[in-house]
Chains A and B, each alone.
Chain A
Amino acid sequence: ETGVTQTPRHLVMGMTNKKSLKCEQHLGHNAMYWYKQSAKKPLELMFVYSLEERVENNSVPSRFSPECPNSSHLFLHLHTLQPEDSALYLCASSQEARPGQRQYTFGSGTRLTVV
């Protein structure tokens, strides 16, 4: 257990479904992140929250909607996804949001399959 907990571990959803991924960190960090990990591709940064404010949104389609209600919790709301959105979605936290200062602690991820 790394201190960053993601649920569910696995999710299968249809293209018309709405679902949410949840992330919780117990490390007292002040920044949280969503990453997408696809086979044979580098990790793709999706969203960055620092002190509960979204500070980065890397051209992610609007069918992905993040929410950070407090510094310990992060959600990724999913709606009308496409099969190419199937991937491992990783949540991470760090004590500092600036790229040069990030030492990520990752969760184990949610394996998402869109059918």
Chain B
Amino acid sequence: GESVGLHLPTLSVQEGDNSIINCAYSNSASDYFIWYKQESGKGPQFIIDIRSNMDKRQGQRVTVLLNKTVKHLSLQIAATQPGDSAVYFCAETTGNQFYFGTGTSLTVIP
């Protein structure tokens, strides 16, 4: 069946370091991927997306990398700040289906 998973449920990083959050997907036909951030007491918030015809996309302090060969997606956060502490979800679209991962909880240590 379809699965969108994350390699680690929790991640702790020192403030100022870079963070890398990983996501694996199983369907090679997936053509659109999104990263969401969910802070405590809030709903998920769109961070960045990437289509399957791209390998890399950059935003403000965030970069998403897509490796279709191994069906792997990563979110890189540069110079991680305390405000980056949250749960991060990846999501993918395959045809008429839209799947979310379970999330990685990122904790930034001051």
Contacts and interface: CB of A to CB of B under 8 A. Distances in A.
Contacts of B28: none
Interface residues of B, number: 22
A106 B4 contact: no
B84 to A, nearest CB: 18
Interface stretch (B43-51, B54-62, B64-72): B43-51
Interface stretch (A11-19, A35-43, A63-71, A72-80): A35-43
Interface string B66-91: 00000000000000000000000100
B102 A4 contact: no
Contact of A90 (B41, B43, B93, B97): B43
A102 B98 contact: yes
A100 B44 contact: no
Interface of A: 2, 4, 6, 40-43, 45, 90, 92, 98-100, 102-109
28 contacts: A2-B45, A6-B43, A40-B102, A41-B102, A42-B4, A42-B89, A42-B99, A42-B101, A42-B102, A43-B100, A45-B98, A90-B43, A90-B44, A99-B97, A100-B31, A100-B32, A102-B98, A103-B34, A103-B46, A103-B49, A104-B46, A105-B46, A106-B43, A106-B45, A107-B43, A108-B42, A109-B42, A109-B43
Interface of B: 4, 9, 31-32, 34, 41-46, 49, 89, 93, 95-102
